[in-house]
Amino acid sequence: MATPQHPFDLYAIDSLFNDEQLAMRDAVRKFVDDRIKPHVGQWFEDGEFPARELAKEIGQMGMFGMHLEGYGCAGTDATSYGLACLELEAGDSGLRSFVSVQGSLAMFAIHKFGSEEQKQEWLPRMAAGEAIGCFGLTESDAGSNPSEMRTNAKRDGDDWILNGSKMWITNGNIADVAIVWAHTDNGIEGFVVPTNTPGFKANLVKHKMSLRASITSELVFDNVRLPASAVLPEVQTLRGPLSCLSEARFGILFGVVGAARDCLETAIDYQLNRNQFNRPLAAFQLSQQKIADMAIATGNGMLLAAHLGKQKDQHLLRPEQVSVGKKNNVRMALEVARESRSMLGGSGITLEYPIIRHMNNLESVYTYEGTNEIHTLVVGQALTGIAAYADYKA
């Protein structure tokens, strides 16, 4: 028997990246192998994970807001950020969500739309993992259509009074600061809300079957009084939160390739080592078809991610291209996870192996940051010129 090739070697994937990008990828991979993979099954089972401790380590490596410039951020290129997300998500989508929300949603919002004072106050501590952020856009009655949000902020002298609630907010219960989007007289504005402000409350979402090694919360604002300096000065429309989401989705379209890779590696390894009918499971043609198809789907997803990474590094990446990547790669990863799961038979349903955890996690990833349907409609709009999800305007 010849030595099996790694699915990524089939595509000579490493040749797509430069030495620096590979060095960063390897550093994250080692961190995930040492610090995440041995424990994450238990964290998933328990529905909790050591967020503060991990935040410090992740911060020391420079992963939070790594593709932002200045304020203690590492300032890497976008492709390196994508590769870091990929390795994190090979560990667990919850871990990648933790890093995405901190870096691409909360820090990015402050970095792009914040005042100098807000940047100085929050970004260095968030980059170091000493302060944790969350990002509140979705509400229970405003999901795919965030413009229907009810949360609002009204002037009271120089201050703002914030009322309303947010739903499904990652990191909500552990955050030191929340970026909250609300209706104001000026349009839709973002507020930097320290979570110890009176009137701010976070309630844990329980009974999740997905992203269990991640915190999901409801945020409630009951007459939260904020100073004038709390508002993000540089944006007054939905373009604000949507451009943050575009950043995070870029991380996702790389990240999920990591989850798929981990499922595929596990399935191949398992099928090479388990015998039935006097031969390894991997020796059956039906198995090899599954393995080949999954390796090709994962490899193609990786090529797409790398291509979009290059586009982003040249500042050419358009939102509908991000939708292509998010839609294609999340669906691909979910399909690979389901097929891999079956290839482990009974063992596939336990947390002994990572697959069913990835599979369940990917259900959240399929829904958040724009559902599969919404991204389909964005691509449809790009191809037809008609926005099927908005009020029809000829």
Ligand X SMILES: Cc1cc2nc3c(=O)[nH]c(=O)nc-3n(C[C@H](O)[C@H](O)[C@H](O)COP(=O)(O)OP(=O)(O)OC[C@H]3O[C@@H](n4cnc5c(N)ncnc54)[C@H](O)[C@@H]3O)c2cc1C
Q: Name the residues annotated as catalytic.
A: 369
- Residue where the block lists tokens 């040749």: 15
Binding partner at 27 among ligand X, other proteins, none, C-beta below 5 to 8 Å by kind? other proteins
Minimal distance, residue 120 CB to other proteins, in Å: 19
Binding partner at 66 among ligand X, other proteins, none, C-beta below 5 to 8 Å by kind? other proteins
Whole-angstrom distance, CA of residue 334 vs CA of residue 67: 27
- Comparing CB distances to other proteins, the nearer of 66 and 153 is 66
Residue 390's CB is within 10 A of a number of other CB atoms, namely 11
What residue ranges bind other proteins (CB under 8 A)?
19-20, 23-24, 27, 30-31, 57, 60-63, 66, 74-76, 80
CB 358 within 8 A of CB 259: yes
Binding mask 205-234 for ligand X (x = CB under 6 A): ------x----x------------------
**Strand runs labelled E in the chain:** 133-136, 152-156, 159-170, 177-184, 187-194, 200-204, 216-226, 275-276, 279-280
Whole-angstrom distance, CA of residue 168 vs CA of residue 139: 8
**Residues sharing a CB contact under 8 Å with residue 46, sequence separation 6 or more, in sequence order:** none
Minimal distance, residue 62 CB to other proteins, in Å: 4
Whole-angstrom distance, CA of residue 197 vs CA of residue 331: 40
- Comparing CB distances to ligand X, the nearer of 77 and 139 is 139
Binding partner at 138 among ligand X, other proteins, none, C-beta below 5 to 8 Å by kind? ligand X
Whole-angstrom distance, CA of residue 318 vs CA of residue 216: 29
CB 172 within 8 A of CB 201: no
CB 361 within 8 A of CB 210: yes
Is residue 273 classed as helix, strand or coil in its secondary structure?
Answer: helix
Q: Does 143 bind ligand X (CB under 6 A)?
A: yes
Q: Does 322 bind ligand X (CB under 6 A)?
A: no
- Comparing CB distances to other proteins, the nearer of 3 and 196 is 3
Minimal distance, residue 271 CB to other proteins, in Å: 21
Binding partner at 60 among other proteins, ligand X, none, C-beta below 5 to 8 Å by kind? other proteins
Among 83, 137, 232, 294, binds ligand X (CB under 6 A): 137
Is residue 162 classed as helix, strand or coil in its secondary structure?
Answer: strand
Binding partner at 101 among ligand X, other proteins, none, C-beta below 5 to 8 Å by kind? ligand X
- Compute how many residues bind ligand X; rule: CB under 6 A: 21
Entry field: residues in the chain: 394
**DSSP-derived pairing of the beta strands 159-170 and 152-156:** antiparallel
Q: Which stretch binds ligand X (CB under 6 A): 154-162, 257-265, 349-357, 364-372?
A: 364-372
Among 76, 104, 170, 329, binds ligand X (CB under 6 A): 170
- Residue where the block lists tokens 């090979």: 90
Q: Does 364 bind ligand X (CB under 6 A)?
A: yes
- Comparing CB distances to ligand X, the nearer of 312 and 327 is 327
Q: Does 368 bind ligand X (CB under 6 A)?
A: yes
Binding partner at 296 among ligand X, other proteins, none, C-beta below 5 to 8 Å by kind? none
**Residues sharing a CB contact under 8 Å with residue 221, sequence separation 6 or more, in sequence order:** 151, 162, 163, 164, 165, 180, 193, 199, 200, 201
Q: Residue 85: how many CA atoms within 13 Å on its side-chain side?
A: 32
Among 160, 168, 254, 353, binds ligand X (CB under 6 A): 168
- Comparing CB distances to other proteins, the nearer of 123 and 180 is 123
Is residue 214 classed as helix, strand or coil in its secondary structure?
Answer: coil
Binding partner at 371 among other proteins, ligand X, none, C-beta below 5 to 8 Å by kind? ligand X
Is residue 342 classed as helix, strand or coil in its secondary structure?
Answer: helix
Q: Does 144 bind ligand X (CB under 6 A)?
A: yes
> Between vectors from CA 313 to CA 305 and to CA 367, what angle results, nearest 5°?
40
Q: Which stretch binds ligand X (CB under 6 A): 164-172, 218-226, 258-266, 334-342?
A: 164-172
Q: Does 138 bind ligand X (CB under 6 A)?
A: yes
Q: Does 203 bind ligand X (CB under 6 A)?
A: no
| Dihedral in degrees, nearest 10, Cα atoms 171, 172, 175, 178 | 120
- Residue where the block lists tokens 């503060």: 52
Q: Which residues bind ligand X (CB under 6 A)?
A: 101, 135-138, 143-144, 168-170, 211, 216, 364, 367-369, 371, 373-374, 377, 389
